A = this chain, B = another copy of it.
Amino acid sequence: MMAAKRSGAGSKRARAAPQPAQEVPGEPPLSRDRIVATALELLDAQGLDGLTMRRLADRLGSGAMSLYWHVDNKEEVFDLALDSVLEYRGPPQMVESQDWRADVVHMLEDWRASMLRHPWSASLLPRRAFGPNILGRLELLSKTLSRAGVADADLNVAIWSLWNYVMGATITRGNFDLSDDDRAAAQQRLASERYPTIERSRLLLDDDWDGAFRKGLDFLLDGLAPDRNFGCKIG
């Protein structure tokens, strides 16, 4: 939690030369990186609606319009914030891995976890042009599946199926934030009306998100895998 609240008008008056470049730690000069970092803070703290150009500038100790020198518009702030969330800090090379399936699971769980660390991010991804970091993740995923033996003709279907599943799971989990009261009320509604099956299974009370994600992913991979040698009850 770096506060960086404006500490009086000092920084503005302290200039003596045309380029102050002062070392006042409270107010470094504006920059793309600083804007993105502060946007992340704001988004994490206040959610999607909490990000406002004016509030962002405020937090940076600058006038609202100063941002527009570094950034085209608010859309670009979202693009940059999202891309920064999606940076992959995985093993630099997983060339020699024997267990491609474990690699895929790890990549997808890391992707999901990265987005869940910033719950606003997943909803942002589908409607945005693909940034470098998500493309990097898709490339790595694609390469791994290809090495595992997925035919070129099936690659896109495999990638999009996994994409769909991960995005659906993450967007849902990131937005499904019921209080205990909400949950009780929802379950109550199920009971009082005509939803006997999902009432009995307590669908809306289930909260083993991680476990459910993993299990569904396994089903999907069972289907996608070229050499599936399990998951069959009848041969």
Q: Chain A: residues with CB nearer than 8 A to chain B? A: 123, 126-127, 129-130, 132, 135-136, 138-139, 142-143, 146, 152, 155-157, 159-161, 163-169, 171-172, 174-176, 182, 186, 189-190, 193-198, 200-204, 206, 211-213, 215-216, 218-220, 222-224, 226-229, 231-235
- The complex places the Cα of A231 from the Cα of B233 at a distance, in Å, of 11
Q: List 24 A-B contacts (CB under 8 A).
A: A123-B126, A123-B127, A129-B182, A138-B195, A139-B196, A139-B197, A142-B201, A152-B201, A155-B201, A156-B206, A157-B215, A157-B216, A160-B172, A160-B206, A163-B168, A164-B172, A165-B220, A219-B222, A219-B223, A220-B220, A222-B223, A223-B223, A227-B234, A231-B232
Report whether B195 and A136 are in contact in the complex, using a CB–CB cutoff of 8 Å: yes
- Smallest CB separation, A105 vs chain B (Å): 14
- Smallest CB separation, A223 vs chain B (Å): 2
- When distances are taken between beta carbons in the complex, the residues of chain B under 8 Å from A126 are 123, 171-172, 174-176
Report whether B227 and A223 are in contact in the complex, using a CB–CB cutoff of 8 Å: no
Nearest neighbor of A150 in chain B, beta-carbon distance: B201
Nearest neighbor of A217 in chain B, beta-carbon distance: B161
- The complex places the Cα of A123 from the Cα of B122 at a distance, in Å, of 11
Q: Which of B143, B174, B219, B227 contacts A220 (CB 8 A)?
A: B219
- When distances are taken between beta carbons in the complex, the residues of chain B under 8 Å from A206 are 156, 160
- The complex places the Cα of A155 from the Cα of B232 at a distance, in Å, of 19
Report whether A165 and B171 are in contact in the complex, using a CB–CB cutoff of 8 Å: no
- When distances are taken between beta carbons in the complex, the residues of chain B under 8 Å from A193 are 132
- When distances are taken between beta carbons in the complex, the residues of chain B under 8 Å from A139 are 194-198
